[in-house]
Amino acid sequence: MPYRSVFREDLFSGRNIVVTGGGSGIGRCTAHELASLGAHVMLVGRKPERLAAVVAEITQDGGQASAFVCDIREETRVQAVVAEMIAARGRIDALVNNAGGQFPSPLALINQKGFETVVRTNLVGGFLFARECFTQCMRDHGGSIVNIVADFWNGMPGMGHSGAARAGMVNLTQTAALEWAPAGVRVNAVAPGWVASSGLDTYEGPVRAMIPKLRDAVPLKRLATEAEISAAIVFLLTDAAAFITGETMRVDGGAPLASGVWPTPEHDRSRPFEGFHRATTPKILQAKNL
């Protein structure tokens, strides 16, 4: 069974698209969708075995992909990897800046090293990759960048380091959109809400116990599928979005709008888009039949 994208099959034929954090979760799903639409996808991540597994999946499905091992927080390595990509493929047409990570903790218990590590992962690394794609290729050829942020609109209690970094990435998106427009480069962001992806199974303790309750805070009364996030990313990369830049698309089921003053009753009227043929439900959600 192939990826069931809502976009036409040859949409990105002949284009080379980078997906950082492509070894799992939203990055893996997006890589599959882009490959199904004709792109050669260049996967970036720190774990070669994960990247190799996704390349194998895409190849098995009839797509094209290659892997590049890189810690996006290391400037010299990012510079070298982008150069390797251009040498291998000739040019970079688009970048999905998806790599990121964080750990749950109240602000008072986060030390400087922990705070800086999360900011380097979710902000500095994204900046480095976008800058290198621009200076080494897109400045001369144009292109499109989509940065993946998060639902931080009402703060991110329990993950304040990540919220600060993601908010910074939104501002960076706006600045890059303005500065790089003369080169024909569009820069946008996608802000996912709570997503039923493999990352949910990495949490333990109180956060893990809270996961099955997340849907209650969403007006649509469910979590997003990976394919719903990927579809938003793909749209922003298409020519149909040629006049959109500097924007952040929220894909969160209306969660920031939820209010105790106007509660949303329980319902099952929101039907998820299940486009990713290799998607699996996180174990924490399987256990709760959600």
Name the token pair of 84.
Answer: 């390797």
Distances (CA, A) of 234 to 39, 95, 237, 290: 11, 11, 5, 27
Residue 252 has pLDDT above 90, yes or no: yes
Work out the average pLDDT over 160-179: 98
Query: Distance between CA atoms of 182 and 172, rounded to whole angstroms?
Result: 17
What's the CA gap between 239 and 216, in Å, rounded?
37
In angstroms, the CA 37 to CA 33 distance is 6
pLDDT at 198: 81
Residue 169, pLDDT score: 98
Distance CA 61, CA 76 (A): 34
Q: Is the pTM of this model over 0.75?
A: yes
> How wide is the angle at C-alpha 42 spanned by C-alphas 79 and 96, nearest 5°?
80
pLDDT of 9 above 90: yes
For residue 151, the model assigns a pLDDT of 94
What's the confidence (pLDDT) of residue 183?
A: 98
- Predicted local confidence at residue 200, as pLDDT: 87
**Average confidence (pLDDT) over 14-42:** 98
- pLDDT value for 180: 98
Give yes or no for residue 289 having a pLDDT over 50: no
Write the pLDDT tens digit of every residue in 86-127.
Answer: 999 999 999 999 999 999 999 999 999 999 999 999 999 999
Smallest CA-to-CA distance from 109 within 205, 199, 253, 245 is with 205
Amino acid 287: pLDDT: 61
Question: In this model, does residue 57 exceed pLDDT 90?
Answer: yes
The residue ranges of every structural domain in the chain are 16-254+265-287
Region 193-210 average pLDDT: 86
- Per-residue pLDDT tens over the stretch 211-232: 888 999 999 999 999 999 999 9
Alpha-carbon distance 214 to 54, whole Å?
Answer: 29
16-254+265-287: CATH superfamily: NAD(P)-binding Rossmann-like Domain (3.40.50.720)
Contacts of residue 185, Cβ cutoff 8 Å, sequence gap at least 6 = 134, 138, 139, 142, 143, 144, 145, 176
At 219, is the secondary structure helix, strand, or coil? Answer: coil
Q: What is the mean pLDDT of the chain?
A: 95
pLDDT for the residue 215: 93
Where residue 39 falls among pLDDT bands split at 50, 70, 90? very high
By C-alpha distance, which of 161, 169, 160, 88 is closest to 125? 169
Residue pair 261/280 in contact by the 8 Å Cβ criterion: no
Q: What is the pLDDT of residue 212?
A: 87
- 22 burial level (CB within 10 Å; 0-12, 13-18, 19+): buried
What is the β-pairing status of strands 40-45 and 16-20?
Answer: parallel
Q: 143 pLDDT band (50/70/90 cuts)?
A: very high
In angstroms, the first-to-last Cα distance of the chain is 24
What 3-state DSSP class applies to 63?
A: coil
Q: What is the pLDDT of residue 210?
A: 86
Distance CA 140, CA 184 (A): 9
